[in-house]
Amino acid sequence: MDTQKKAYIYALSAIFCWSTVATAFKIALRGMDFLHLLLISSGIAVLFLGCLLLFTSQLQKTFSGSTKDYIRSAGLGFLNPFLYYLVLLKAYSILPAQFALSLNYIWPITLVLLSIPLLKHKIGWKSISCILVSFSGVVIIANKGSFTSIQTPNTFGVLLALSSSVFWALFWLFNVRDLREEKGKLFLNMAFGFLYILISIILFSEFRMPDNKSILAAVYIGVVECGIAAVFWLKALKMTSSTDKISNLVFLSPFVSLLFVHLIIGESIYLSTLAGLVLIILGIVLQKFIRKTNSIE
């Protein structure tokens, strides 16, 4: 098997893992609140990644960074997993899974918008048109396809799902500048994120033992979402001859997620959710095409 085929297998495996997480979120949240879910899943992720680094003889190197590296990890860990998952899981606790996962998928467009003030990127009318296409999808999803009345299931939940994309986009912008080894960075980010959520629970909540099903779902999220999927995706990126060959596969994830949500959770998927998601992805794809065309020119 050639290297590119292996890259596809790793990429599709990562996408499959990510596609199951929305269902796991809803199962876990049935028996615990979002703070405790984040505590357990991030703690499990730290253990999983720590063991992986230990077995690959990279753990010592991870802890041999400078003070500046630790400060950077502390900041990145505050964005993700702490703020990102804190807001996203709260959204999942309020909204049906199909709304939370679809609205969160706006992050590539959020990334374009944030790059204007942070990276001083210029944006043309073509890019603005793409953004409007994606945001029309957001409106359709949030309003359940109604154009005559407001049908939003929960305005606060919708705002949370959308704002989570801001934290993820910020994390991506700052993380891409950090040239350290990816698994080591991920481990330190998770470790700091776990510390932040532990402090939050001590100050603002109290730990209650959830039921076994919720615990298993939380452990699954920590191992699969924050561990296995990330490792698979990193391996795919290293093996592929072109990032574009595997990055477009990510667009399969929300549709597979909706299938799992329907089959396992039992949510009836609205046609407006599918239509809105298609528009969101269409805007993202067109934006990528415009950016690629401009780079060639």
Of 39-48, 72-81, 102-111, 254-263, least confident by mean pLDDT is 102-111
Is residue 294's pLDDT more than 70?
no
Q: What is the reported pLDDT for 292?
A: 66
Q: How confident is the model at residue 277 (pLDDT cuts 50, 70, 90)?
A: very high
Q: What is the pTM of this model?
A: 0.89
- Residue-wise burial string across 13-26, b where 16 or more C-beta atoms lie within 10 A, e elsewhere: bbbbbbbbbbbbbb
User: Please, what is the average pLDDT of the chain?
Assistant: 87
Is residue 147's pLDDT more than 60?
no
Give the span between the Cα atoms of 103 and 83, in whole angstroms: 17
The larger pLDDT score, comparing residue 255 to residue 207, is at 255
Q: What is the reported pLDDT for 48?
A: 94
Name the phi and psi angles at 19, rounded to 5. Answer: -70, -20
DSSP letters for 48-68? HHHHHHHHTT-HHHHTT--HH
Is residue 145's pLDDT more than 70?
no
Q: Are 138 and 166 spatial neighbours (Cβ–Cβ below 8 Å)?
A: no
* pLDDT cut 70: percent of the chain above it: 93
Q: pLDDT for 7-25, tens place per residue?
A: 889 999 999 999 999 999 9
